[in-house]
Amino acid sequence: MEEFAGKTAVVTGAGSGMGKAFALRWGAEGMNVVIGDIQQDALDATVAELAAAGVPVLGLRTDVSKLSDIEALADAAEDRFGPIHLVNNNAGVEGYLDGPIWAATAKDWDWTLSVNLMSVVYGVRTFVPRMLAHGEPGHVVNTCSMTSVIAATNMYGICKHAILALTEVLAADLAAAGAPIGVTGLCPGIIATNLFHGSRNRQAALRNDEGMSASGAELRDRMHATLSKGMPPSEVADKLVTAVREGALYLLTDHEWDSRIEARHAAIMAGAVGPAATGALDAEGVR
Ligand SMILES: NC(=O)c1ccc[n+]([C@@H]2O[C@H](COP(=O)([O-])OP(=O)(O)OC[C@H]3O[C@@H](n4cnc5c(N)ncnc54)[C@H](O)[C@@H]3O)[C@@H](O)[C@H]2O)c1
């Protein structure tokens, strides 16, 4: 997709972080912008910012873990602006970090997988057939992660590996169909966002009665501090515009973790014993 002006973009999770930066950036490219987020006040703030910049904008509260909400977002976008050309399946949360994977509850799995992974499945299911039907050039961006390409260390990584795999399947199916729709698996490294405060928006029905573990809270605080020193989301938006224009399937925002990517693949090829060889653990054996 090379022309953006006058076309329509949909961005989920646009109340904060990268989603907000993408919405502002697509607006600056002259696009109509439709945004969804589960947090109403954050959604309203992004809508106000876009409107103040003169961008034609529509915001709709959307819980991306629900197919019906994503369909409602697509319907609203088409009602207001007509054909949808660009979709950023972006909303996500840090998910379960409270202990080993076998200790996760059904609600932990449901929250983490539905918001991070099923949201992208639903986004593809909802938007791609509509984009194929109008036949104009388009693009789907699935927000994966650098954790999509290193050895997975937690439930979030499980989702992000799966999203990258889904992205590859989507790209292959669209190419086989001869569709004028590009696909990018965006793999951000450490970006300064509120990701590790994702549980602020954990749906009531998916919360555990006992709340967050002390170790989980400590890990979240540590990771939030790390992210706050990361790349500004606007810089990721700049890279994304170029990747969409060029039709890049993969976009790694940086190469800080190249050695971990290589270590994982070398360990697989070598049939390595134990996680140490995969790059999942640092020099002190810490994930
Ligand atoms: N920040 C990083 O370092 C980093 C690295 C790799 C990938 N990512 C991914 O980037 C994407 C954007 O996250 P971010 O880092 O900007 O974090 P963020 O918390 O700043 O933004 C995420 C947005 O998603 C929204 N959201 C949460 N649950 C939702 C739901 N059920 N329905 C709709 N919206 C929901 C939040 O309200 C928030 O506005 C996520 O998919 C995340 O996994 C982030």
pLDDT tens for each residue of 97-107:
999 999 999 99
In-domain check, residue 239:
yes
Name 83's Cβ contacts closer than 8 Å, sequence gap at least 6: 8, 130, 131, 134, 136
Residue 275 binned pLDDT confidence (cut-offs 50, 70, 90)? confident
Q: Same domain for 272 and 233? A: no
Residue with tokens 């002259």: 30
Whole-prediction pTM: 0.97
In-domain check, residue 119:
yes
The answer on pLDDT for 202 being more than 80 is yes
**Residue 44: CB atoms within 10 Å:** 14
Specify the CATH number for the domain of residue 207. 3.40.50.720
pLDDT tens for each residue of 37-57:
999 999 999 999 999 999 999
Q: How many domains, the chain?
A: 2
115 DSSP 8-state letter: I
Q: Same domain for 197 and 272? A: no
13 lines ligand 1 (CB under 6 A): yes
In-domain check, residue 74:
yes
108 lines ligand 1 (CB under 6 A): no
- The alpha carbon of 12 and the centre of ligand 1 are apart by a number of angstroms equal to 9
Residue 283 binned pLDDT confidence (cut-offs 50, 70, 90)? low
Amino acid at position 128, single letter = V
Residue 279 binned pLDDT confidence (cut-offs 50, 70, 90)? confident
Q: How far apart are CA 91 and CA 112, in angstroms?
A: 12
156 is catalytic: yes
In-domain check, residue 50:
yes
In-domain check, residue 93:
yes
For the CA of 193, the closest atom of ligand 1 is 20
For the CA of 114, the closest atom of ligand 1 is 31
In-domain check, residue 20:
yes
| Domain region containing 192 | 8-256
Q: Same domain for 17 and 103? A: yes
Percent of the residues in the chain that have a pLDDT greater than 70, as a whole number: 98
Q: Which residue has the higher pLDDT, 13 or 287?
A: 13
Q: Same domain for 231 and 110? A: yes
59 lines ligand 1 (CB under 6 A): no
Q: Same domain for 233 and 281? A: no
What is the predicted pLDDT for the residue at 274? 85
In-domain check, residue 1:
no
> Taking all residues of the chain, what is their mean pLDDT, rounded to a whole number?
96
Q: Same domain for 265 and 195? A: no
| 3-class secondary structure, 140 | strand
Q: Same domain for 272 and 174? A: no
Q: Distance between alpha carbon 169 and the CA centroid of its chain, in Å?
A: 17
pLDDT tens for each residue of 107-139:
999 999 999 999 999 999 999 999 999 999 999
Q: Same domain for 270 and 197? A: no
In-domain check, residue 3:
no
